[in-house]
């Protein structure tokens, strides 16, 4: 295990997640995991299906609570901190886009919930649309997009508020090779 440093973005300390009552009758999704991810580090979790990768991401994001252990983001202990108060955004395999909204409205939604000024929202939406090469689709409804395009909207929406930590759970699986690069 790496030792945490002053720049550690994520510090996971002896964290376990058990679904059910206990280790005997429950399902152990994570068992005593410890790791440190430094600030500005690109970190990848690899493993077979069902090994706990998504569970770990859900714990960091706050969608699940650890059974044991602790998770620290930039020196702040996260116990009891709800997902919307964490400096984290997540792109899961299922994009969770709003089909009744346009691409631009989907991207701006989180910024609006953060009470950002309209001029900033407009500027950020334009910036991230360019980043994911979807400027020309800003006014299209998301249910009129291909799977790869929807995935790029989900990524743009996650990047828009400029989170300190961006968690990606197979976010590039629907993209072609050129776009993944």
Over the stretch 115-160, which tens digit does the pLDDT of each residue have? 999 999 999 999 999 999 999 999 999 999 988 889 899 999 999 9
C-alpha distances in angstroms, 11 versus 7, 15, 95? 10, 10, 27
Over the stretch 89-120, which tens digit does the pLDDT of each residue have? 988 777 789 999 999 999 999 899 889 999 99
| Domain 8-82: homologous superfamily in CATH | P-loop containing nucleotide triphosphate hydrolases (3.40.50.300)
Q: Across all residues in the chain, what is the average pLDDT?
A: 89
Q: Is 35 exposed, middle or buried (0-12, 13-18, 19+ CB in 10 A)?
A: middle
Q: Where are the domains of the chain?
A: 8-82, 103-180
pLDDT at position 142 is 92
pTM: 0.81
pLDDT at position 173 is 65
Determine the average pLDDT of the residues in 11-37. Answer: 91
């Amino acid at each position: 295990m790496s030792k945490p440093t002053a720049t550690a973005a994520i510090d996971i300390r002896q964290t376990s997640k058990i679904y059910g009552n206990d280790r005997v009758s429950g399902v152990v999704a994570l068992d005593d995991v410890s790791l440190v991810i430094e600030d500005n580090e690109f970190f990848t979790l690899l493993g077979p299906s069902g090994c706990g990768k998504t569970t770990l991401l859900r714990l960091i994001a706050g969608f699940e609570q650890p059974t044991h252990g602790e998770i620290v983001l930039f020196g702040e202990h996260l116990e009891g901190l709800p997902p919307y108060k964490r400096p984290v955004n997540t792109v899961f395999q299922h994009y969770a886009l709003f089909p009744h909204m346009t691409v631009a409205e989907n991207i701006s939604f989180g910024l609006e919930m953060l009470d950002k000024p309209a001029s900033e929202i407009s500027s950020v939406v334009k910036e991230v649309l360019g980043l994911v090469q979807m400027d020309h689709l800003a006014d299209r409804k998301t249910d009129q997009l291909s799977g790869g395009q929807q995935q790029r909207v989900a990524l743009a929406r996650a990047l828009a508020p400029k989170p300190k930590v961006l968690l990606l759970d197979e976010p590039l699986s629907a993209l072609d090779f050129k776009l993944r690069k």
